[in-house]
Amino acid sequence: MNEKLQVLAAKLNLSTERLQELMQNSSIVKYKKGSFLMQNGELSHQLGFIIKGALRTFTINQEGEDISFLLQVDGDFFGDYECFLSGAKSNWQLQTTTRTEIVLIEKQHLHFLMERDSFWIGFYKQIADICFLEAKRRIEELLFYTYEQRYLNLLTNRPKVIEKIPQKYIASYLGVTTQSLSRIKSRILLT
């Protein structure tokens, strides 16, 4: 088994045989830094898993501000899950922030696997659960945590985000300016 894919296998409890079956129905794609995986207004029939690298899910609001909603790194699933389910056009853009290697799972291939073997229905449910929990965590963070608490959560629980994502996108994700992020970091260093 490819060492890079062991993270995916471990995250979803896939045997070597199941991982091979999945990879026969998926593709590994490498992107340069700054590549767009999806643009606003496009349809998305894919979900992905980051083997190595980082990306952000963002939009440009009516005032022209770049708003990062999700920051994802090695071992994370990504995609516009609402668009994937509904077939509607996406309101989000996905862009790599480093050189990034991903596994892409096409909707039609996932459905093919589920029709052949009920194991893959459970696999799909795991991905759906992960997407739901990530969205719930993000909503709670935005509603209940201060900017400083959000940054501390990143430092504690997602240090790779701090390492791999530029500060301007982290600031946007937190809902602050880059100057405010610098002040937050200074306060944390003083405590």
pLDDT digits (tens, 9 = 90+) for 102-146: 999 999 999 999 999 999 999 999 999 998 999 999 999 999 999
- Which pLDDT belongs to residue 190? 80
pLDDT of residue 3: 76
Find residue 101's DSSP bridge partners: 30, 52
* Among 7-16, 43-52, 127-136, the least confident range: 7-16
Burial of residue 113, with CB atoms counted within 10 A of its CB: 0-12 exposed, 13-18 middle, 19 or more buried: buried
* pLDDT at residue 156 greater than cutoff 90: yes
Question: What average pLDDT does this structure show over 40-49?
Answer: 91
Mean pLDDT, the chain, rounded, equals 92
Q: How far apart are CA 79 and CA 66, in angstroms?
A: 18
Q: Which long-range contacts (CB under 8 A, 24 or more apart) does 115-122 make?
A: 119/18
CB neighbour burial string for 135-166, b if at least 16 within 10 angstroms, e if fewer: eeeeeebeeeeeebebbeebeeebebbeebbe
Quote the tokens at residue 90.
């996406």
- Determine the average pLDDT of the residues in 148-168: 95
